[in-house]
Amino acid sequence: MLRKLPDFILFAAICGILTSRAVAVGAPPVGEAHVYKQVDDRELKLYITKPADWKKGDSRPAIVFFHGGGWTGGSPGQFTEHSKYLVTRGMVCVQVQYRLLDKKKSEPPITCCRDAKSAMRWVRSRAAELGIDPNRIASGGGSAGGHLAAFVGMVEGTDDPADDTGVSAKSNAMCLFNPVFDNGPGGWGAKRVGDRFPEFSPFHNVTKDDPPGIVFLGSKDSLVPVKTAHDFKQKLSDVGVKAEVHIFEGMPHGFFNYGSNGNKPYYETVVAMDRFLASLGWIEGPPTLSADIVTEK
């Protein structure tokens, strides 16, 4: 006789799947390591990659990446290949380490969210020395990292008490790869956030001052329904915010990662992200990523 597993065990199992997928495709982070925050005796780092022709005094667009892993695992290097490409397009790229939740507990992602906002504030407050435009800082991420990327763009509150909240943590654009951004009843992570979902769920915090966003999702994603992505776009469109949704037929969760599915989805999502950023006026010209080059790697 089969027994229904307790909710916390099911959640832990899902997190394990997310973590293994993120770790499997994660490379070491690239760029200069900087400590953006210290919590007790732990230093949290972010990794900054700059274009070859970067110089102090530049005012370049930037993107801050948050890795996936169910809030309980994963590593900053998940977006290493994305960063290596985008610097060739003139952007400064940042990959963030943040505190992970205990798989055996069921607390909400307060520390993850606080760290994400702290990282955004660290980057923006140092825009001049990093050679970036403080008004052109995108957030990007996959799965739980996609949640954090949407969170910093859309949700107020859950700030670290040590942060200077006079510096905005709000991103100016969002690049979201199968993001688990609906944390309300029936959504992903609902068991952790419970009736506090308005504090954490981007899907439930859509306002007219949200940044434009692009969403990538596989039609066979077992964690994020296709309808959720389309509803998200509609909600943003209803308040006048530019939004794109790209659905990849037959693709599961994590399909976009470098090294997955023959790299075809990686190539297609990065090219679409490039065109989205170009539509905002952040980068110029057509995408320079070649499918042949990706395959050869």
pLDDT on residue 297: 52
Closest CA to 147 of 121, 102, 115: 115
Sequence spans of domains, the chain: 7-296
Report the predicted TM-score, pTM, of the whole model to 2 decimal places.
0.91
Tens digit of each residue's pLDDT (9 = 90 or more) over 175-209 = 999 999 999 999 999 999 999 999 999 999 999 99
Domain 7-296 CATH assignment equals 3.40.50.1820: yes
Burial, 51: exposed, middle or buried (Cβ in 10 Å; 0-12, 13-18, 19+)? middle
pLDDT on residue 259: 93
pLDDT band at 157 (very low <50, low <70, confident <90, very high): very high
Average pLDDT over every residue of 156-165: 98
Q: Which of 234-238, 273-277, 293-297 has the lowest mean pLDDT?
A: 293-297
